[in-house]
Amino acid sequence: MNQNFKTSIVIAAAAGLASASAPALGQPLELQVLGLNPLSSLREAQTHLNLQKMLSLHLSSEGREAQMRAMSESHGIQSRRYQIFQDGVEIIGGEVIAHEPVGHEPVQVSLANLNPPERITVTPAFPQLTLSVQPSLSPETAVRLALEHLTGSGERLLQAKPALKILPESNGSGGKLLYWLNIQPQLTGPQLDAGRDILIDAHSGQLIADLSHHIEISETINHTRRADSTCQTLNPDTGSPSGLNVAACPTAVRAGEIQEGASRSAFRAYLNANRVLGYFSKTHNRMSYDGKGSELVSVVHVGNKFANAFWSTDGGFMAYGDGDGAVMGDLTRSLDVAGHEMTHGVTSATSKLIYMDESGALNEAFSDFFGVVIAARALQRQPDWAIGKEIFNNERKLIGLRNLKDPASIKTRFLTKEGAFEARPYPSTVAEKFESFGPCTQRNDRCYVHVNSMIPGRAMVLISEAIGLDQAEKLMYLTLTQYLTASSGFAAFKEQTLAACKSTLSETECAAVTAAFNTVGF
């Protein structure tokens, strides 16, 4: 592929309470159209005007309110997302999504009456919750508890006031009132170290989750930069990056021009980014990871013998470690790893699947699926459904990190209720799902996002075999970007994939998709 996208490569080396804003009760909502390139075409400009004139979503009589947050379009379907609030408090993943065929004029949808014209399908992805939105803990107490949890991880700063939110249970049985705290490292300059989202129960004060803003390829572009001692600081015990100032890292490749000092890793990272962006552009008509044509920055030589790669949701960049030199080598060698991480960027700009438990497992499954598919398309071969073979130096190069087609062929670690680790095969069905004990933290892989991802991942493989890869990749993209919400779990994945299927594929194909889901126990 000769097309150049906005990518760059840089190099690294060692050295009060705020609830989400909502309109006043009883007032029509002011529409917010997000995610569109500002009037970049006459069609988008007209769409924006039509939405402002013709679309409105009014409050129900149950203390619920909504405002439009995004519009998207792909594969013949256009969707509009409306964020739902309860008594002024955001319901995480609580959305109404209106889908209709491309080309129709937008119509009015009401939260109190979800019965639009026949061509419109509506996904009311929010539970009927009755919990009180009055917290028992003060915001100041929540901050203290979050910082106590982070004791020993360096100085931290609260990025914004604690946000009071409602987190629905994945099984739809209820929800929790929590404080969502975005906490960043206390570093000088434009540092892009991993921030953390700390979720604290607003009544009991218990830790619900500790979510890193760096989403890694395993449990433990196109602008390329090289991380060196001028732009990164390292954890002396692990060699992982504890601080990374991307803007200060020297540029290695920009717009295809190799700069002095650029390594093979830098150029591979540049090619990886071009291939990933090319896939999303050609196959799904998506401009860059965020749909806005933003520049993609890749950073190579991150850490010291750092055997991982990650996507930064804070900085919107891709980072590659060089591997430990023994078991694992340079992570730029694997295109499917790059596709995996950059798909996290697509997810963070669309469905925003929370990186914990079932929603986090779906987040990982989509990244694994598209990572493998992107590599297969670029290399003009059939996918083998193993991810990360190329990064290994030992016998693991035959099997990779994970295998979506045969998850149980590889073992991983399970943390028992007693706090001990034991080896178990990756799960292939819902019945084999790893259960978590305690909060979702790095210790239990944030409630096994990299592990339980194999269950929906295997379903995606079976769907590809049943209806063909061409149809499956479009169906998965449509589901991820237009049908799922931040708190979607496995049940919602099946339900919304079938809804997307019904809108775009035949009855026979959708029956085959259902059979694939049934095989893994959904």
In angstroms, the CA 191 to CA 435 distance is 36
DSSP character string of 437-454: -SSB-GGGHHHHHHHHTH
Among this protein's residues, is 149 annotated catalytic? no
Active-site residue identified among 95, 100, 341, 473: 341
- Residue 80 β-bridge partners: 71, 98
For 43, other C-beta atoms within 10 Å of its C-beta total 8
**Cβ-proximal residues to 360 (8 Å cutoff; 6+ apart), any chain:** 353, 354, 440, 446, 447, 449, 453
In angstroms, the CA 385 to CA 402 distance is 8
Q: What are phi and psi of 512, to 5 degrees?
A: -65, -35
Q: Give the torsion sign (CA, 511, 476, 414, 408).
A: positive
Q: What are phi and psi of 320, to 5 degrees?
A: -120, 130
Output the six-digit token pair for 180: 């969502």
- Helix or strand (DSSP H, E) at 280: helix 264-284
Residue with tokens 């989202």: 197
60-89 core/surface letters (b: 16 or more CB in 10 A; e: else): eeeebbbbbbbbbbbbebbbbbbbbbbebb
Q: Which of 348, 315, 365 is nearest to 8 (CA)?
A: 315
Q: Is residue 122 classed as helix, strand or coil in its secondary structure?
A: strand
Among this protein's residues, is 341 annotated catalytic? yes
DSSP 481: I
Provide the residue count of the chain. 522
Residue with tokens 């190099």: 11
In angstroms, the CA 331 to CA 268 distance is 10
Active-site residue identified among 95, 432, 450, 509: 450
In angstroms, the CA 389 to CA 33 distance is 41
Q: Which of 278, 375, 307 is nearest to 335 (CA)?
A: 375
So which residues are the catalytic ones?
341, 450
